[in-house]
Structure 1
Amino acid sequence: MNNQTSQFISRLIIGRSLLFTTTLITSTMAFAAQSIEKEMTVNAKPQIELKVQRGKVELVGWDKDLITVSGQLDELSEGFIFEQKGNQITIEDKLPKSYRGNNEDGSNLVIKLPIKLMLEAEGVSADYKVENLSGQIDLALVSGNLKAEQMDGDIKLHTVSGNIESDKLNGKLELETVSGDIKDKSSAGKAQYRLVSGELESKDNQVTKLSIDQVSGDIEGNFSAVEKIKIVSVSGDIDISLSAKVTKASFDTVSGDVEVKFTQMPNLTFEIDGGPGGDINNELTDDKPLEAKYSARESIQFTTGDATGKFSVNTISGNIELK
C-alpha cells in the first residue's frame, strides 16, 4: 500500500467518524425535550393567539392578569415564542415546516390565563383541555381531542379527526367534528352541533335554542329547556327528550328512526310525513296516521294543548315514535 492510499483511507475513516458523531449529536439534540417556565403580566381581557402543533396542552383560567407557561417543549422545537404587542399575545412552540420521525410525544404544556379573554388556539396533532375561561374562544384542531369545562361566552370547538367532550358550557356554542363523537353535559344558552361521522350524546342539557347537523351517526339527548330545535340527519337514529317549553321543532331525516319523548304534554301542532318505508306511532293522542292510497307512506296531523307552537317531521325510510 503506497503512502497516498494510506492517507486517503485515514481521511475517509476520520470523515466517517465525524459524520457519525455529528449525526448522533444532532439526533440527540432533536429528541431532547426542553423544560420551560415563563410568565407575563398582561392587560385585562387580553387577545391571545396560541399554536401548539403536537402533544398535550392544558389551558386553565385564573383570577390574575398574568399568563404562565410550564412544562416541556416539543422534541423538534425550533424555539418558543412568547411575546406581547399591545394587547395581542402570541404563544407558540415553533416547529419546522416539515418533519418526520417516530417520536410523536410533542409538547406537554400547562398554560394559565386570565379568565376573561379572547383566545384563538390551533393544533395539528394535539389534545387540548380547557377550563374556567370566559369570552370569545375559538379552538381548532386537525387531529386531536378537545375537552372543555366551565366556559362562558362565544365558544367554538372544532376538530377534524377527534372527539369533543364538554361540561358546563354557557353562551353561544358551536361544536363541530368531522370524524369523532361529541359528548356534551349541562350546557346552556344557544348551541349548534355538527358531525359528519360520529355519535352525539347530550345529558342535562339546558340550551334554549338548538341546531344539530349530522351525516352518519346516532343522536341521543335530554333537552329539557329547549324552545326551538332543528335537526338534520342523513343516516342515524334520533332519540331525544323534550319538555312543554318547546315552541318550534323541525326534523329532516333520510335514513333512521326518530323517537321523541315529552316530559309534559306540549302545546303544539304536529305535522308529520313518514315518507316511504316507515311507520308512525303516536302515543301522545288518540289520532292515527293516514296511509297514502297508492304507496306505503304514512302521515299524520294533530294538535296538543293550545297548539301555539309547531312540530314537523319529514323523513325518508324511518320509523317515527311520539311519547
Structure 2
Amino acid sequence: MKTAHCLPLLLCLCIGDALAGTPIQLQHAASADTRISISNIAGSVNVTAWDRNEVQVGGELGDGAKPLQITGDNDRLSIKVEPRGGSGSGWFNFGGDSRMAPTTLELHVPRGASLDVKVISAPLVIDGLAGGDIKVNTISGNARIHANTPALDVDSVSGGIELSGQADKAALQTVSGEILAPALGRTAKLETISGHIQAGGGPWQTLTLSTVSGDVQLSGKLAAGGSIDIDSMSGDVQLRLPADTSAKLHASSFSGDLRSDFGKPIEAERGPGSSLDTSIGAGDGKIHLETFSGDLRVKKQE
C-alpha cells in the first residue's frame, strides 16, 4: 500500500523535474504564441515545431547540473540548465560547478512560439517555427535555423550561422563564424570580423553589411527605393544584381581592385584607388559599396 501511495509522487517527478545524469521527460501546457527562454552551457539544443499547445523537453541532463524544470506560465516559459551549488551571476551562473557534464535538450514547441536561446559550446538547431520572433546568443556552437519569422537576431562569436526559410527582419553578427543566409527578407543587417558571408534574397528595403577581413558574396534584388550599404576593410566583396535593378550606385576602393558590369570605374589621379558613380535603370534606390584593400566586384545576374 505504501508503494502504491508513492507512485503518483514518482510520476509527478518524471513529468515536472529531470535529475542530473538521467533522461529528460518534461512537458508543460503553452499558448500557441508562447515565448520560451532556453539556456544551455554545453551539449546540444534541438528545437522542433509542432502543432500542439504544449512544450515537451527530452534529452539527457548532464552530471553536475541542477534538476531541470520548465518554469513560468503558458504565455512565458523558461528552461535553464544550471550547475549545482553555485550562486554566480550572468547567463549561466558561472559561479557554480564548472565540472558540469554536457546536456542534450530535445524540445518540441508550438509552431507560433517565440524563442530566446542562449548557449555557449552547444550547437543549436531550430526547425519549423512560423510566426514568432527568434533571438539567439551563442559563443562557439553553430546555429542552424530553418524557420519563417518576422524577426531574427543571432549574435555569435566563433560559431557559424546558417539560415534557411525566411526572416523578414534579420540581424546576424559573428566574430569569426561563417554566415550563410540565402533567403533574407526586406530588412537585414550582417556583421562579421573575419567570418565569410554568403547571403541572398530580397527584395531588400534596407540591407547593411560590414566586414573587416571576411569575404562577402551577396546576391539579391533591391526593393523600390531601397538601399544597400556594404563596408569592408580587407575582405573581398562580390555583389550580384538583377539586370532590372533601379538605383544610384557608388562604389570605391582605396587599394583593392574594383570592377563593375554597371558603368566603368575611374582610377584616382594621384595615388591608389578607384571609384564608380553611376545610375542603374531609373536610379530609384541607393547602393553604396566601399572597401579599403579588399577587391570589389559588382556583377549583373544572368
Tell me which interval the TM-score lies in, with the shorter structure as reference length: 0.7 to 0.9
User: In the alignment, does 2:120 pair up with 1:121?
Assistant: no
Q: Which amino acid aligns with 1:162?
A: G
Alpha-carbon distance between aligned partners in 1 of 2:261 and 2:195, rounded to the nearest angstrom? 30
2:37 alignment partner in structure 1: 49
Rounded to whole Å, the distance in 2 between the matches of 1:313 and 1:225 is 14
TM-score, length-scaled by structure 1: 0.73
Cα distance 1:148–1:240, how it changes in 2: closer, same or farther (>3 A)? same
Match of 2:164 in 1: 167
Between the aligned partners of 1:282 and 1:42, the Cα distance in structure 2 is 53
Specify the alignment match of 2:138 in structure 1: 141
In structure 2, the residue matched to 1:98 is 96
Which structure 1 residue ranges, 5 or more long, are not aligned? 1-31, 244-263
Instruction: State, as a whole percentage, how many aligned pairs show the same letter.
Output: 23
Q: Return closer, same or farther for 1:67/1:290 CA change in 2, 3 Å cut-off.
A: closer
TM alignment of 1:144-155, pairs within 5 A: 144-155=141-152
Instruction: Determine whether 1:201 maps to 2:198.
Output: yes
Which amino acid is 1:284 matched to?
F
- In structure 1, the partner of 2:228 is 229
- Rg (Cα) greater in structure: 1
Query: 1:297–1:50: structure 2 CA closer, same or farther, 3 Å change rule?
Result: closer
2:282 maps to 1:306: yes
- CA distance in 2 between counterparts of 1:288 and 1:47 reads 50
Larger RCO, structures 1/2 (Cα 8 Å, 6+ apart): 2
Matched, 1:111 2:107: yes
Is the 1:290–1:300 contact (alpha carbons within 8 Å) kept by the matching residues of 2?
A: no
Tell me the equivalent position of 2:213: 216
Distance in structure 1 (CA, Å) of the matches to 2:199 and 2:212: 17
Match of residue 284 from structure 1: 262
1:72 and 2:49 aligned: no
Cα 1:177–1:316 change in 2 (3 A) is: closer
Q: What's the offset of the Cα at 1:162?
A: 0.7
Q: What's the CA shift for 1:164? A: 0.8
Write the distance in 2 (CA, Å) between the matches of 1:232 and 1:291: 19
Give 1:223 shift.
1.3
Distance 1:211 1:98, change over 3 A: same
Q: CA deviation at 1:321?
A: 4.4
Give the gaps of 5 or more residues in structure 2.
1-19, 85-94
SS in 2 for 1:138: strand
Aligned pair partner of 1:132 in 128, 131, 156:
128
Secondary structure of residue in 1 paired with 2:212: strand
Q: Which residue of 2 aligns with 1:239?
A: 238
Amino acid of the structure 2 residue aligned with 1:217: G
**8 A contact 1:168–1:188 mirrored in 2:** no
The 10-residue stretch of structure 1 (297-306 or 166-175) with the greater mean CA deviation from structure 2? 297-306
Cα distance, 1:233 vs. partner? 1.4
Q: What is the CA deviation profile of residues 172-222 of structure 1, one whole-angstrom value per residue up to 9, with x for unaligned ones? A: 11111122111112332321111122100125x235131112122100121
Relative to structure 1, the CA distance from residue 317 to residue 140 in structure 2 (aligned partners, 3 Å threshold; closer, same or farther) is: closer
**TM-score (norm: length of structure 2):** 0.78
Which has a greater percent of strand? 1
CA RMSD of aligned residues (A): 2.6
Q: Is the 8 A contact 1:52 1:92 kept in 2?
A: yes
SS at match of 2:97: coil
